[in-house]
A = this chain, B = another copy of it.
Amino acid sequence: MNRVNQECVETLRYLSKEEAVSMETELLRDYRFGREQLAELLGHACAVAITKIFPLSSLEKRQPTLLVLCGPGQNGCVGLVCARYLRVFEYNPTVFCHERSREGLHQDLTVQCEKMDLPFLSYLPTEVQLVNDAYNLVVDAVLGPETEPETEALTSALQAMRGVKIPIVSLDIPSGWESDDSNTDQINPALLISLITPKRCAQSFSGPHFLAGRFLPYDIQKKYQLNLPKFAGTDCVVEL
């Protein structure tokens, strides 16, 4: 690693939950980005990151099956787009949404997946061995940094993830972790994909870690002193 890269890594900032929320508000309100636009570009980038660490050729099971767990909020929207692109990249994703979201974007993204013939599970098997046997990995798009009420369905998804032995890929933060702290009795993903910027809890994550989303205006990068690493070529993700 040369000095320039080292300097970037040293000074890369991990945002607190408060900072992440305020940056997102600015992006939506002042920079006029749309939620639909952000879900699309982030979900696409997450799928690309997954192909880098878990290429089709590396999967152990005969079929390239993945289980994508989607929460009812923004994290779940990114998960739905990610599932759609994983299908385009020739994986076989199955989706589980805890409950039908009443949010329009979530519903639209669900229809897009259904129309791509992605199977949806109506409930999660309580026996985690069934998940271990059926899928190569689990994509965790259940909870993001925003606080969401923990419903029974969410609890069951978190419990399932604590029990599975196949690798977990977490989008933005590992579900159940506090955004500002690590929490090691929770799930332990094999791959973490931070969305837009890494959050504080990611500092204690030691596995492969990607940043998804290459669109941040320079002014906002400067304002939050992000010191993002350089993306190569036209890549939409970068390994941190």
A111-151 CB mask vs B (1 if < 8 Å, else 0) is 11001110000000000000000000000000000000000
The reply to whether the CB of A41 lies closer than 8 angstroms to some CB of chain B is yes
Is the pair B219, A115 in contact by a Cβ cutoff of 8 Å? yes
* Contact A234/B51 with A115-B31, A218-B116 known, Cβ cut-off 8 Å: yes
Q: In the complex, are the beta carbons of A31 and B112 less than 8 A apart?
A: yes
Chain A: number of interface residues, binned into ranges: 35 or more
In the complex, identify which listed stretch (A14-22, A32-40, A58-66, A172-180) lies at the interface while the others stay far away. A32-40
Could you tell me the distance between the alpha carbons of A39 and B34 in the complex, rounded to whole angstroms?
12
- A-B contacts, 27 listed (Cβ < 8 Å): A30-B115, A31-B111, A31-B112, A32-B107, A32-B108, A32-B109, A32-B112, A32-B115, A33-B108, A34-B108, A36-B36, A36-B40, A37-B40, A40-B40, A40-B41, A41-B44, A47-B234, A48-B234, A51-B234, A85-B215, A88-B214, A88-B215, A115-B217, A115-B219, A116-B217, A117-B217, A117-B219
